[in-house]
Amino acid sequence: MEQINELAKFVTESRGKKISLIDFESRDSKDNYRKIAERIGNGNITTESEISQVIEVAEGSPGFRMFKSRFKEKLLNNVLLFDIKGEDRTPYHKAIMQCWRNVYCIKVLSILGMINSAKGLAKSTYKKAIEFELYEVAFTCARELRRFGSYSGSEDKFNRYNQEAKESARLNYAENMAFACLESLYVKVANTNFYKKELIGLAKEKLEEVTKIHEQSKTYLIGLFYYRVKVIYEELREDYAAALVTWGQFENYIQGYKHFEYAIRIAEIAVQEFYCYMCLGDYVSAQKCSEKCELYYKRFSGNWYLYKEYYFLLAMHNKKYTQATSTVQQIIAVPSFKFTQANRQEKWKLFEAYNYIMQRAVHEVDIDQNKAFNLAKFLNETPIYNKDKGGFNISVLIVQIMIFLLDKRFKELSEKFEALKRYSSRNFQKDTEYKSRIFVKMIIMADKCAYDYDKTSKATSKFYADLKKEPYRHSNSYEGLEIVPYAHLWEVVLDCLK
């Protein structure tokens, strides 16, 4: 009751001080803060100049800077009042938000001299943090309780919480080191055109490091980071069968953490197993994984788009063009799609173009769809990739070439091949994805053979055999992404030359 009395007195005395919030219930037409927040949330405002026009204050002026400052403060105050107990949140995420909110309150109460309330909240928060293995929170609470024990002259409490603070700090440090192992691989992969061979050595080194950490300190997060590092190493080695075994081991591991974020981890396993089966060309097993993805992933979320990307590529590589078409149409028709990142929108427009090419090649394009695809419009809608010489530019060029081939526009085709030669010599490096280089060489050779079927077929036969022999390697980079197997695409090229 002592804590309740202390808190009630504080809240009562502070009730006259109004917190600056954005009032979404207000219908005041002059409330620019609510108006701007709603329009940004709906995707109708994306720039500061648009904010300036709505509030009728010059961008960059003192008045505009003051509005931005107050707007941010109101937004942060609204975040502090965020409902952490939503039905769509996992117990683990609820615990994280509740514990960190409590840490903030512990600090505030302590600063204000409300030691009894701070101490009681620190005890309950420490217990929750230990339950969900939130060791950074646990360390903070134990440290505060240690301080309170020292102030009260209780040597027992000081020693107890000092020991708990040390153990929490040790586990938190171990988790940080394990996470650093994983992130050191993430940063390399993000800055590399594709999973290069030289990364295998680094991945092996980090796997050895995180394995030692995992053996010495058993926590949920360390286990999570260990399995992720292990899978990255196996995928770098293109051992997707081993990666599938590891994901199976991870699924067994999280059985002991069903009260954490079980559904999220099962969804992660499903999409990653889907990826492995896609790389192995196992369409049937990948289809089974897709059922889990549909069940666990929230529609229109970032991971849902990732899963759909894998699903589309799987369909294209297995010549399931009807399924590929329905997937593209599903994505493009999503109302919120136009508000997603620009590179995601352009990637799916590129997917749509390649799907159209293959549909035409196998004579599965109806008249309406044929009229709907406009090459000039497509090029206009992919400005990022048209400027990206090391990325999707090669894919955009190939779209143009394939359309010209299908339309028998050989004069325009020759002009485009000149641009492709210049691009090839200027931008492709030794470490560029092998199959991309080979395909570029083949389409240049077709031009040299004056698009004669027999000459082109004979001149490129060795390269064609190489394309068929090379296994599929999924790339996170745009240049190495094989949207349609190059061997399939080359068959279309030859058909156009008959």
Neighbouring CB atoms inside 10 A of 324's CB total: 26
Query: CB–CB of 424/440 below 8 Å?
Result: yes
Which of 129 and 496 is assigned the larger pLDDT? 129
Q: What mean pLDDT comes out for the span 321-346? A: 85
The beta strand positions in 195-306, using DSSP E, are none
Nearest to 497 by CA among 429, 433, 442: 442
Which of 20-34, 125-139, 436-450 shows the lowest per-residue confidence on average (mean pLDDT)? 20-34
DSSP 3-state percent helix, strand, coil across the chain (nearest 5) = 75, 0, 25
Quote the pTM value: 0.81
Alpha-carbon Rg of the chain, whole angstroms? 29
**H-assigned helices in 382-433:** 383-387, 393-406, 410-427
Q: Would you give the DSSP letter of residue 298? A: P
Residue 419 pLDDT level (bands cut at 50, 70, 90): low
Q: Is the pLDDT of residue 426 over 60?
A: no
Distance CA 253, CA 21 (A): 43
Identify the residue with better confidence: 441 or 141: 141
CA distance 229 to 178: 9
What pLDDT shows up at residue 38?
82
* Whole-number pLDDT of residue 366: 52
Higher pLDDT, residue 182 or 48:
182
- Reported confidence tier of residue 478, pLDDT bands at 50, 70, 90: low
The pLDDT confidence band at residue 60, using thresholds 50, 70 and 90, is confident
Tokens matching residue 480: 């190495």
**What is the rounded average pLDDT of the residues 469-486?**
73
DSSP state of 334: -
pLDDT for res 456: 94
Q: pLDDT at residue 236 above 50?
A: yes
Binned at pLDDT 50, 70 and 90, residue 130 comes out as very high
Distance CA 2, CA 4 (A): 6
Lowest-confidence region among 266-280, 308-322, 357-371, 415-429? 415-429
Alpha helix ranges (H) inside 56-113: 62-80, 91-111
Of the pLDDT bands very low, low, confident and very high (cuts 50, 70, 90), residue 23 is confident
DSSP annotation of 479: S
Confidence of residue 19 (pLDDT cuts 50, 70, 90): confident
**What's the pLDDT tens digit per position in 258-283?**
999 998 899 999 999 999 998 888 88
Cα 397 to Cα 387: distance, rounded to the nearest angstrom? 12
Question: Considering the chain, what percentage of its residues have pLDDT values greater than 90?
Answer: 38
Residue 432 pLDDT level (bands cut at 50, 70, 90): very low
If phi > 0 it is left, if psi is from -120 to 50 it is alpha, else beta; for residue 487 that is: alpha
Read off the pLDDT of residues 219-235 as tens digits, 9 standing for 90 and up.
Answer: 999 999 999 999 999 99
Q: What pLDDT score was predicted for residue 41?
A: 78
Average pLDDT of the chain, as a whole number: 84
Q: Can you tell me the distance from the alpha carbon of 109 to that of 238, in angstroms, rounded to the nearest whole number?
A: 54
